[in-house]
Amino acid sequence: MKASDVRAMTVDQLDDEVLKLKKEQFNLRFQRATGQLENTSRVRVVRRDIARILTIARQKRLGDEPKLAAAKPKTEGAAAARVKPKATAKRRAPVKSRSKPNPKNRAKAKKSKK
């Protein structure tokens, strides 16, 4: 369920929807416990839908519902100010290995040099 669909509902409709989703969540838990659940991703979707609806219902009750954002015209100065110039990094010398050399590899290296 999309947030735009949820925002179009009234608070009473949201409460009914939460109740319906909680019942579905309960049934999904039982299906999972008995090994009958085929679509395991549905548990996650239902849980997130409940959270989304509860959040929007709370916003509506408090009057804090965000208004739809209008498209703001972007100015070139603001966009250019956010872009940082790339720093030219100097190359570092390779770091020498700090691990002890393997004695077997050392013996092989001596043989190959001869």
pTM of the complete model:
0.56
pLDDT for the residue numbered 58:
94
CA distance 20 to 52: 14
Query: Domain containing 36 — which CATH number?
Result: 1.10.287.310
Return the structure tokens found at 111: 């043989």
Domain range for 16 is: 3-62
pLDDT for the residue numbered 8:
93
Q: Does 58 fall in a domain? A: yes
Q: Does 49 fall in a domain? A: yes
Mean pLDDT along residues 15-22? 96
Q: Does 70 fall in a domain? A: no
Q: Does 77 fall in a domain? A: no
Number of domains in the chain: 1
Q: Does 112 fall in a domain? A: no
- Strand, helix or coil for residue 93: coil
Q: Does 7 fall in a domain? A: yes
Over residues 30-74, the pLDDT tens digits come to: 999 999 999 999 999 999 999 999 999 999 999 887 766 555 655
Residue 24 reports pLDDT greater than 80: yes
In the chain, % helix, strand, coil (3-state, to 5) comes to 60, 0, 40
Residue 80 reports pLDDT greater than 60: no
CA distance 9 to 48: 17
Mean pLDDT along residues 96-104? 71
CA distance 34 to 88: 60
